Structure 1
Amino acid sequence: MTYFTFLRDNARWLSASYLLTTFSGFGQTFFISLSAGDLRAEFGLSHGDLGLLYMVATLGSALTLPYVGKSLDHYPVQKIAMAVMAGFALFCLALAHAFAVWMVAFAFYGLRLCGQGMMTHTSVTAAGRWFSAQRGRAVSISMLGFPTAEALFPLCFVILSGTIGWRGAWTVSSLVLILVAMPVLFVLLAKDRIPSTAEVAAAKAEGRQWTRSEVLRDPRFWLVSCGVNAPAFIGTAVLFHQVYLVELRGWSLEVFASAFLLMASGVVIASLIIGPLIDRFSARQLLPYTLLPLCFACFVLANVDAQIAAFVFLGLVGIGNGFNGTLVGAFWPEVYGTRHMGAIRAVAFSIMVFASAAGPGLVGWLIDIGVSFDAQVTAMGIYCLVFAAVLALAARAYRSDQHS
């Protein structure tokens, strides 16, 4: 099947998965952090205070996700998506009308649970279940929603907040979810996709269908999770403190913001390349390479002061995110099967949310106590390098398990 034929025959479900990831952007760090300056000023918070608040709220969402995420194993995707988007819109309104710090924390919790958590979880889980032989391509197309949001949402937010204020911009975000996202996705998800007999026959044998409890007892799961969630920790930490980074380097915030387009382009290119490669070689074989772009990105950011470093860093982060997001989306069902994937991926997403929660809080605290930002980023690069080797060993263990 050619790429064009695949897109044409499955436009309905691919569009739904893509849009779910796109609209998850309202709950992603790159979008929420645009209000960081206003929130600090209005509620008298330091970098560390706001980072800690964000970390606690995100950790709360991570603890909730395994319980609500397994609902995808029991209810239609359409019902889950509608419920999540309705809640998502309400949390956008909660932030728009926050009058106390506890309300900001409550809104952060909901935005992270619904946006970063359930919207993304629903999209990738559905894509992995709908498609078997073409799972890599399907997940790669789903991942294109992230660069779309990264390229469009921040610019729209800046324009809106400049005219109607940051609270007004969050109100508009809520209305977009209710008036645009929900009606379109309600129609697209009205029919579930069932893989054909030919597709199932053409797909690589899934073998054993692991339960969630079995996966949690598998040490390889935890080793891989520590590696593949490094982008969530590092990307969230750096982007949440992007204003501090720009001030530290003496860069232009406007120029730094323009580099997000390069990051979005990197995600698109990497996603479109890695999807077919996964279908050809398997996610297991490609696993060891997923952290290398982020490793180089960290070393560049830590050692180059010129503003060109922002473009190199975000470009490599985009490539790494496109590679990692698509690969991980295909990896879990490949090694653990699809029967209990809603419950399994809910735990995997929860760990990812934990990682993204720890980043802003830890880095903000280290900034407050005077730890060099360059030293922190260098440590992040070393971590990626070490875990690239760990993932190579894990990939070999999974291949041995498959052939045993």
Structure 2
Amino acid sequence: MSTPDRLSRFLIDNASFLAAGGLLTFLSGFGQTFFISVFAGQIRLEFGLSHAAWGGIYMLGTTASAAVMVWAGGLSDVFRVRHLGPMVLVALSLACAAMALNHSLLALPVVIFALRLFGQGMSSHIALVAMARWFVAARGRALSIAALGFSVAEALLPLGFVAMMQVLDWRTLWLLAAALVLLGAPVLAKLLAQERTPQSTSESNSTLGMDNRHWSRGEVLRSPLFWCMAPALLGPPAFVTAFFFHQLHFATSKGMEHLQLVALFPLYTVLTIAAMLVSGWALDRWNAVRLMPFYQLPIALAFLCFAAAGGTLGIAVGFLFLAMTNGAQATLPNSFWAECYGTRNIGAIKALATAIMVLGSAIGPGLTGLLIDLGLPFAQQGYGIAAYFLGASVLMKLGIARARTRLSPPAPQAV
């Protein structure tokens, strides 16, 4: 059977499971920075917040959600996706409704916490854990296809809601968001009416990790490999979020109109989708352990381009490199945990990684904003950010080199 035929058969045979993953990643967009920041001006005006105060509240809520994710993420090892997923979507819907109805400054950090926990945190976490657990030989393809929901949300939600903002009040739009998320709950339950790998039978479909066994979360925390990976987990959410958070400042520092920079975003989205699909194919061919030490080298080049570029072309090249890492970020790390630590406790283990990533998305904008206030433009920070990613890549290489000897060769398995 040819490769296109195999792909078509894979999509047909697993359509409901892949659609469930894509639905969860898409709906996670309502708790992502790229969506919440659309309403930053209205929220600041409504509550009388300065840029610093709004940034502080956002960081507080996000950091708290990262802490709770360490516990909440482990629920995906206990409950089936068809039960946990709809509950998380209902909670995310309530968080969107709370943003629409809230008039208390004291409650605002709590609302941000709920949006970040159930949106960026749990919705995406459940989707990617499910793909890593449900698929073995085709894990890369499954992760890349499910992760397309992130890019679709990033492309459609800000544009659509900014357009509707011309005719609808911002609070009404949050109620619309709540309704859309709530509609997703029964759809998800329907897609997973016959879940691929229920918890009761997951043992027979599991993947063993290092030393030919399943690792517990406590053992992972004592593993040097996990801490060698931590800077790489923190980096992309910290500095990619910071780049988009400070996009107006970046454009101004480069002598560009904001619209000139924003016009490159669709190109970035298309390149990211292509990188997701290519990284999924490469993952199934070579596995995550081989690929992980190299996937952050392009983002180092991206920030060098952002620092040195004098015009639109150089920044476009930077977006190309940024998309390469961002696309791979959606597939490689999620498979890496399953390959190295097994799938029995993959939810609890990946929750640690997700918490670090959410924490990064809280730290990045604040840290880079402080440096901007101290007189160092974001573009010039790109040199230091590039050095950070090079260092993280070296640390990954060292940690994986030690761990590889403890991994058994993968046995041939069905999709």
TM-score by length of 1: 0.93
User: Is it true that 1:171 corresponds to 2:151 in the alignment?
Assistant: no
Instruction: Assess, with a 3 A threshold, how the Cα gap between structure 1 residues 37 and 245 changes in structure 2: closer, same or farther.
Output: farther
| Counterpart contact for 2:22–2:148, Cα < 8 Å | yes
Superposed displacement of residue 99, structure 1: 2.4
Aligned to 2:80: 76
Letter in 2 for 1:118: M
Q: 2:361, 2:393 → 1: CA distance?
A: 19
After alignment, is 371-380 or 55-64 more displaced?
Answer: 371-380
Residues 237-386 of structure 1 correspond to what in structure 2 (within 5 A)?
237-386=242-391
Superposed displacement of residue 273, structure 1: 0.9
Superposed displacement of residue 403, structure 1: 5.7
Superposed displacement of residue 7, structure 1: 0.9
Letter in 2 for 1:313: G
Aligned to 1:182: 185
Give a deviation string over 1:326-347, Cα, whole Å, max 9, x none: 1011110111000011111111
Same amino acid, percent of matched pairs: 39
| Counterpart contact for 1:147–1:264, Cα < 8 Å | yes
Residues 27-46 of structure 1 correspond to what in structure 2 (within 5 A)?
27-46=31-50
Superposed displacement of residue 16, structure 1: 0.5
User: Is it true that 1:66 corresponds to 2:70 in the alignment?
Assistant: yes
User: Is it true that 1:210 corresponds to 2:203 in the alignment?
Assistant: no
Q: 1:35, 1:311 → 2: CA distance?
A: 27
Instruction: Assess, with a 3 A threshold, how the Cα gap between structure 1 residues 205 and 216 changes in structure 2: closer, same or farther.
Output: closer
Aligned to 1:24: 28
Superposed displacement of residue 14, structure 1: 0.7
Aligned to 1:156: 160
| Counterpart contact for 2:96–2:174, Cα < 8 Å | yes
Residues 73-152 of structure 1 correspond to what in structure 2 (within 5 A)?
73-152=77-156
| Counterpart contact for 1:71–1:342, Cα < 8 Å | yes
Q: 1:382, 1:201 → 2: CA distance?
A: 43
Superposed displacement of residue 8, structure 1: 1.1
Letter in 2 for 1:235: V
Instruction: Assess, with a 3 A threshold, how the Cα gap between structure 1 residues 236 and 221 changes in structure 2: closer, same or farther.
Output: same
Q: 1:249, 1:100 → 2: CA distance?
A: 38
Q: 2:217, 2:274 → 1: CA distance?
A: 33
Query: Structure 2: which 5+ residue stretches go unaligned?
Result: 410-415
Q: 2:111, 2:313 → 1: CA distance?
A: 35
Aligned residues: 400
User: Is it true that 1:12 corresponds to 2:12 in the alignment?
Assistant: no
After alignment, is 378-387 or 45-54 more displaced?
Answer: 45-54
Letter in 2 for 1:370: G
After alignment, is 107-116 or 96-105 more displaced?
Answer: 96-105
Letter in 2 for 1:30: F
What SS does the aligned partner of 1:229 have? helix
Residues 378-397 of structure 1 correspond to what in structure 2 (within 5 A)?
378-397=383-402
Q: 2:192, 2:214 → 1: CA distance?
A: 26
Give a deviation string over 1:356-398, Cα, whole Å, max 9, x none: 1111122222223333322322211110112122222222122
What SS does the aligned partner of 2:167 have? helix
Q: 1:286, 1:333 → 2: CA distance?
A: 14
Give a deviation string over 1:101-132, Cα, whole Å, max 9, x none: 33332221111101110001000001111111
| Counterpart contact for 1:92–1:111, Cα < 8 Å | yes
| Counterpart contact for 2:85–2:123, Cα < 8 Å | yes
After alignment, is 208-217 or 169-178 more displaced?
Answer: 169-178
Give a deviation string over 1:21-69, Cα, whole Å, max 9, x none: 1111111111112222333333343333222221111110001111111
Q: 1:332, 1:112 → 2: CA distance?
A: 23
Q: 1:40, 1:203 → 2: CA distance?
A: 48
Superposed displacement of residue 308, structure 1: 3.7
What SS does the aligned partner of 1:352 have? helix
Superposed displacement of residue 317, structure 1: 2.2
TM-score by length of 2: 0.90
Letter in 1 for 2:189: F
Superposed displacement of residue 352, structure 1: 0.9
Q: RMSD between aligned alpha carbons?
A: 2.3
Superposed displacement of residue 349, structure 1: 0.6
Instruction: Assess, with a 3 A threshold, how the Cα gap between structure 1 residues 342 and 203 changes in structure 2: closer, same or farther.
Output: closer
Give a deviation string over 1:226-253, Cα, whole Å, max 9, x none: 1133111111111122233234334333
Aligned to 2:413: none
Instruction: Assess, with a 3 A threshold, how the Cα gap between structure 1 residues 396 and 201 changes in structure 2: closer, same or farther.
Output: farther
Give a deviation string over 1:253-297, Cα, whole Å, max 9, x none: 333333221222122111111112111211000011111121111
Give a deviation string over 1:300-342, Cα, whole Å, max 9, x none: 1112242344433333322211112210111101110000111
| Counterpart contact for 2:234–2:359, Cα < 8 Å | no
| Counterpart contact for 2:217–2:349, Cα < 8 Å | yes
Letter in 1 for 2:397: A
| Counterpart contact for 2:309–2:315, Cα < 8 Å | no
Q: 2:381, 2:49 → 1: CA distance?
A: 22
Q: 1:54 aligns with which of 51, 58, 82?
A: 58
Instruction: Assess, with a 3 A threshold, how the Cα gap between structure 1 residues 183 and 39 changes in structure 2: closer, same or farther.
Output: same
Give a deviation string over 1:173-213, Cα, whole Å, max 9, x none: 1111113x222212112221039xxxx99997642100000
What SS does the aligned partner of 1:251 have? coil
